[in-house]
Amino acid sequence: MQVYASDQTEEVFLALRELLAKNRCAIHFSAETLAELIYAERYVSRRVEAHEVGCVLEALRLDGDLLT
C-alpha cells in the first residue's frame, strides 16, 4: 500500500466547505467559478480543476452538508 503525503481531494473538500460556510450564496455558483474562487481566495495553493470541485460538491450533497 502506498501512502501519500498530501491528499489533494481532502484539500479541495476542506477548502470548499470553508468557502461555503463563509459565503452560503456560493452554493449556486458553477464548479468552474468555485474552483477559481478557492484558488483566488487562497484556500488552496494550486489551481483546482472544475471536475474536482464537482465531485466534492456531490459528496457534500450526499452527506447532507449542502442544502440546495
Can you count the helices (H) and strands (E) in the chain? 3, 0
Q: How far is residue 53's CA from residue 47's CA, in Å, rounded to a whole number?
A: 11
Distance CA 38, CA 53 (A): 10
Per-residue pLDDT of the chain (68 residues; tens, 9 = 90+): 444 445 788 899 999 999 999 999 999 999 999 999 999 999 999 999 999 999 999 888 887 766 55
Which of 29, 67, 66, 68 lies closest to 50 in space, CA to CA? 29
Q: The pTM is what?
A: 0.80
Q: Is the separation of the CB atoms in 42 and 19 below 8 Å?
A: no
